[in-house]
Each structure stands twice: as structure tokens, then as C-alpha cells.
Amino acid sequence: MLETLHVSALPNGIRVVTLAKPEAEGVQVAIRAQVGSRNEPEALNGASHLIEHMLFKGTARRSAKAISQAIEGQGGLINAYTDRDTTCYYARVPYDKARVALDVLGDLFYNATFDPKELDRERRVVAEEIRMYDDQPDSVALDRLAMQLWSGHPLGRPIAGSVEGVLAMPREAILAYRAANYAPRRTVFSFAGRVEHEACVKAVERLAGHLRDPEGLREPEPYTRAIPLDPFSLTRRDIQQTQLAFGWRTPGLLDARSQAFAFLSGLLGESMMSRLFQSIRERHGLCYSVSSDATAYADCGALFVAAGCHPDKAFRCAKAILAEIRRLADRPVPAAEMRRTRDYLCGRFRLRMDGTPIGWAVGRVLAGLPTDPESVLEALRAVTAEDVRALAQRFLSPEGLAMAVVAPNKARHDAEAWARLMDY
């Protein structure tokens, strides 16, 4: 399916990934840095996200307005995002403007000025973004849950940091953090659409082939099972629904069981035919939204389950969700359900590959995994009912559960009652 995917490495460690689609009218260009919130020292929590914002605020050649006009003036789009282990800057333009996209992205990625006045202004913008998400109870529940799953570890800190931290972060410390972490061997340039691989490699070499890694480049703090687990949190807010979030630590992308966990999550709560949807919503009518998600980084991962419901139904909803988790560990999944889930996951993956799966391919390159889609399909097809049951028994135990509840101020269940519920 990805016969036209090519990967090259420059002598300085920068990688170039292309996915050619000769009939495409557009080109997507991206620069991805293998740097995110887990790279940050505690005093600079939120620095990666703030840097992402600041790269759009101007270079020696372009103002913030000129950056957007150069891309959007061609009918294109330009944006970025920050995660725990990566920051990505990307643009999509008509194919004959690919050079413009690379020039603009390269300019902001390497030449952002971090003007002090712009930095002070953008601090306030990011502070408003943090406040916006803090007004969304489901986001609050998932942020609390991450803190509990990876207590005291950089993985558990909020990606955007705190309002107080972002407003106080010294400019010199931000620039030093960027210089120490935005290294060639952590950088991937990707191109998808009407592109030619060798031309893209030469263009990146002209732009960044002369750069070298900073001395003493440090790896992020590794994950270990010894990281403390904070089992429960209860947050009170002036809201109407109770938000429930459950999490268990799981193997990472480099673990052979990662696709089996993706299978387990698909079976549990990623579609309308999943167990959680059919049980919690359809059969019991306890909530509108309930879902699961398997998140995986190179060295670790997590299974998340989230639901929002009326406070009077919240206890029943949580008990029903945990009963479904227990059922995965207690009884093998019937053959017909295994077949439906396998068909769903393989079909969804194939449709994703039918689009422009350059983000998937780059993620695999960064993790050092094969970029052949058939290897993923083979792994999904190989998952057995006993594999699912063994994973549930090994990783989804009450001892491994972290639970975050965001409840209305007047909700009747207290922290002690919720904590008793966790022994399922």
C-alpha cells in the first residue's frame, strides 16, 4: 500500500521521508522534532508547547503575519501540535508551491527570533489556552489521570504546563532548552503528495545539512515500572455531569504486545459495536459518551477509558465499566466477536493507508519500527482470544488502576466511596 514510501538519512542524522502520489493536487510538508513535554525539566514544564507557539511569531525574514500569508495566500494551511514525545510543524499547499512550504517551515523552525515583546504576548495567549482546557471537565479528568499514572515523572505533567509556570519561564531558559533539544538526529522532514524523493532530500540537505547535534544531547527520563502510581483523585467543579477517567499502564510501541493492546482497546470501546458502547450506553442507558483509547510511546503506553454521565448515574456507570474490564480477564472473547473486531481494526487501518498516511509512517520511523503496513495487519490478524485475556489479567488489574473523577460540587459520592469502588 505504501510502495512509494522512501526514507533517507543525511550524514548529520536528519531523516527525510517521502510518500509520492503523482496524481495528487497537493503536497503536505512537515518538520517533526522528537521533542515534547517528557523532555522537559520540571521548572520548564510547558516549554515545548510554548516554543511551538513562538516559532510562528516571526523570523528575521518574516513577521507572524507574513508566515501565515505565505501559505494561506496560496490556499494552503499551516499549523503545529505538541505531544509528550514530539512536536510537529506542517503545511499543506498546492503541489507547485511545495518549495514555498519548505522555505517557510524551515525558516520558522531554524530562524525564529523569540522577540521578547512577542514572547510576553504569547505567554498570555498560551495561558488562555490552558484556562480554556481547564474549563472542560473531560480534559481535566484526563490530565489528572496522566498525573496519576506517571506520578512524579515528566510523562505525567500537562503538555501545556501551568499558567503560573508559562508566565514565569525565563526567555534565556526557553532558548537554552530549545538549543539543547532541537537536534538533527531528532528531526524528520516529511513530504507527501506530488513529490520526488531525491529532490526532497537535496532540498533538505541545502537547508539543514550543515547543522550538527549539540554537545551532550540528553535523552528523556526513561520509563520504569517503579514510577509511583497515584490510584485516585476527585475534583469538584460547578458542572452538570460527572466525568470518569480510568487508566492502566501498558507496554509501549517497541513491545511485541502493542498491537494486541490496540486490538483489546478496539474491542472494548472504539466503535458503536464495542463492548462499552453496547453495554454502558445501549443496554443500560447510563451515558451519552463512553470510549477507550490505547496510547503508546516507544517505551510505555496506557489504556484509557472515559465517560461522562449524570451524577446520579455515575456510580453505576463506573461499576458497569469496571465489570467489562473484569469480564475481559475472566472469560475468553467469543470467536465471532474476535472476528468482528479484527475485521473492524484491519479495515479501519487499510482505509487510513488509502489516504495520506505520512504521519503514521514518520511515527514508525521515529520509533524504529517497520513502515510496511502489512506488518501491522499481520500482527492484528495474529491476536487470539487468549492473548486478549492474558493482557487483561496481566495489566488491567485493580492494583494497576488509576481513576480520576471530576464531579459537580453537590454530587453525593465522596472520595472514600469512589475509592472502595476500585476494588473490582
In the chain, pLDDT over 70 holds for what percent of residues?
A: 100
Is the pLDDT score of 19 beyond 60? Answer: yes
Q: Outline which parts of the chain fall under CATH 3.30.830.10.
A: 5-208, 232-421
Whole-angstrom Cα distance, residue 83 to residue 297? Answer: 10
pLDDT band at residue 2 under the 50/70/90 scheme: confident
pLDDT at 355: 82
Q: Is the overall model pTM greater than 0.85, yes or no?
A: yes
pLDDT at 1: 56
Torsion on CA atoms 166, 167, 173, 178, rounded to nearest 10? 40
Least confident range of 221-225, 234-238, 325-329, 381-385: 221-225
Least confident range of 129-133, 224-228, 317-321: 224-228
Q: Which residues of 386-400 are buried (b: 16+ CB within 10 A; e: fewer)?
A: ebbbebbeebbeeeb
CATH of domain 5-208: 3.30.830.10
Note the pLDDT tens digit of each residue in 77-118. 999 999 999 999 999 999 999 999 999 999 999 999 999 999
Q: Residues 178-184: what's their mean pLDDT? A: 97
Note the pLDDT tens digit of each residue in 321-354. 999 999 999 999 999 999 999 999 999 999 999 8
Whole-angstrom Cα distance, residue 349 to residue 192? Answer: 18
Is the pLDDT score of 216 beyond 90? Answer: no
- Record: fold of 232-421: Cytochrome Bc1 Complex; Chain A, domain 1 (3.30.830)
Residue with cell 504546563: 161
3-class SS shares of the chain: helix, strand, coil, % to 5: 50, 20, 30
Note the pLDDT tens digit of each residue in 338-397. 999 999 999 999 999 988 899 999 999 999 999 999 999 999 999 999 999 999 999 999
Residues annotated as catalytic (active site), given as ranges: 52
Positions of E strands within 278-387: 289-296, 301-309
pLDDT at 424: 87
Q: Residues 214-219: what's their mean pLDDT? A: 90
